[in-house]
Amino acid sequence: MGVPFVDLKAQYHSIKAEIDAALIATMESCAFTLGPEVAALEKDFAPYAGATYAAGVNNGTNALYLPLLAAGIGPGDEVITVPFTFIASASAIHYTGATPVFVDIDPVTFTMDPAQIEAAITPRTKAIVPVHLYGQAADMAALRAVADRHHLAIVEDCCQAHLATERGVPVGTIGVGGAFSFYPTKNLAALGDGGAVITNDAAIAERVRRLRNGGQTERYRHVDDGVNSRLDEIQAAVLRERLPLLPYWTSMRRALAARYRAMLPAAVRAIAERDRGHVHHLFPIRSPRRDALRDHLATEGIDALIHYPYPLSAQPAFARFHPAECPVAACACSELLSLPLHPRLTERQQDRVVAAVASFERGHVQA
C-alpha cells in the first residue's frame, strides 16, 4: 500500500454515521440554501475562529472577494498581496475591479515580507491581503503597523489556516475580516465547495450577508449589486458535524509536523515555524532537487505535491498588471515539495515517507 497525500475516504468514514444522518435530515427538510444549518454553522464557527460574526458563502474565493467589497474596495484601487499562493488570493482582488499588486515573500517563512510593502504603496493603495500560508500566520503585528501608518484595510486569507493564531490572536480577527475555505482537502472540509467570512465588525458582517444573496435586504429588495454566493444547507450540515473535531485534528497535525521535523534528515529543510499557532495544513520541505525527489517518492508509492509551481506574478492571467519580479517567490516555486500530512496519517506511513526522503538524500551524497 502506498502513502496517499490525503485520505478523504478515511476522513468521511471516521464519522460516517453522523454525517449520513445529518445529510438525510437536511434532505428531508427540503431547506437547501441559507436555512437553519447555515445559521447554526455561522453561530458555531465564529467562536471557534475567535470572531464575533461568521457568514457562510459558497467557496473560499468569494470569502475573500465579499469582505473586500464590503470594505469599499473597487475600480481604480490597488490591493497588495503575495505571488506565492493559490490564484484566488489575487483573483478576488481583481473581481472587485481593483488591481492586485504583488510583493515578495519572506525567505524564511514564505509569508508576506512586511519590509517589501512600503515600496509598493501608491496613492491608489487601499488594502493588504496577507496569506496565512500552509497554516502559518503571516507577521500580522508588522503588517498591522504598516497598514495603520498608511490607513489601509486588511483582509486576511485564512483559507489554509483554520484555528491558526499569531502571538495568540486568531487569524482573521486582526483586520477587516478573514476568509476561510471548506474545500474537501482543507483542515475543516465540506463534501464539496464552501467558505466563510469572519469579522468582529457588525457592519461588515451585515454587508457580506447581503452581498452573498444578491444584495438583498428582503426578498426582491436589492440595496447592493450583490452576487449568488450562498452556502448550501447540505455542506453546512457536514461542517457542523466535523467542526467539534477540528481542535483534535489540529493537535494531530501539529504532532505529525513535529515528528517530521525530528526525523527528517538534516539536509532537508522544512519551512521555519515562526509561531506556535501554526496549524500545518501542509508540510512542505525545501530541496534544490525537488523534482527528482518527487519522482523518487513516487517510485516508493508516496504521493507528494507541489504547492505552487509558478508565482502569480509570472502567470499570464496577471501580465496586464505588469507585476514586479519576486525572486524569493520564484525560488520557492522551484524548491518546495509538500509531504503527506493529515490527521489520518499513521506513524508507520510517516516512517515510510522519512525513510524514502533519507534514501534519496543518501543516494545524492554517494553520487
Position 363 confidence tier, pLDDT thresholds 50, 70, 90: confident
Can you tell me the distance from the alpha carbon of 26 to that of 24, in angstroms, rounded to the nearest whole number? 5
Average pLDDT score over the chain: 96
Long-range residue pairs from 147-154, CB within 8 A, at least 24 positions apart, any chain:
147/175, 150/121, 150/125, 152/80, 152/121, 152/125, 152/126, 152/127, 152/128, 153/71, 153/72, 153/73, 153/126, 153/127, 153/128, 154/127, 154/128, 154/129, 154/130
The distance in angstroms from the start CA to the end CA of the chain is 29
Closest CA to 140 of 177, 103, 180, 169: 169
Place of cell 508509492: 301
Q: What integer is the mean pLDDT of 119-130?
A: 98
Closest CA to 163 of 175, 178, 147: 178
3-state secondary structure of 310: coil
Q: What is the pLDDT of residue 367?
A: 47
What are the grid coordinates assigned to 31, written together? Answer: 431547506
> pLDDT tens digit string along 173-197?
999 999 999 999 999 999 999 999 9
Helix (H) or strand (E) holding 154: strand 153-157
> What is the number of other CB atoms lying within 10 angstroms of the CB of residue 204?
22
DSSP 65-77: HHHHHHTT--TT-
User: For the whole model, what pTM was predicted?
Assistant: 0.97
* Dihedral angle sign, alpha carbons of residues 68, 74, 78, 82: positive
Q: What integer is the mean pLDDT of 318-337?
A: 97
Q: What is the pLDDT of residue 365?
A: 60
pLDDT of 366 > 60? The answer is: no
Q: What integer is the mean pLDDT of 118-144?
A: 98
* Bridge partners (DSSP) listed for residue 287: none
For the chain, domains (ranges, CATH) are 8-102+112-244 (3.40.640.10), 245-366 (3.90.1150.10)
Is residue 127 within 8 Å of residue 153, measured between CB atoms?
A: yes
3-state secondary structure of 99: strand
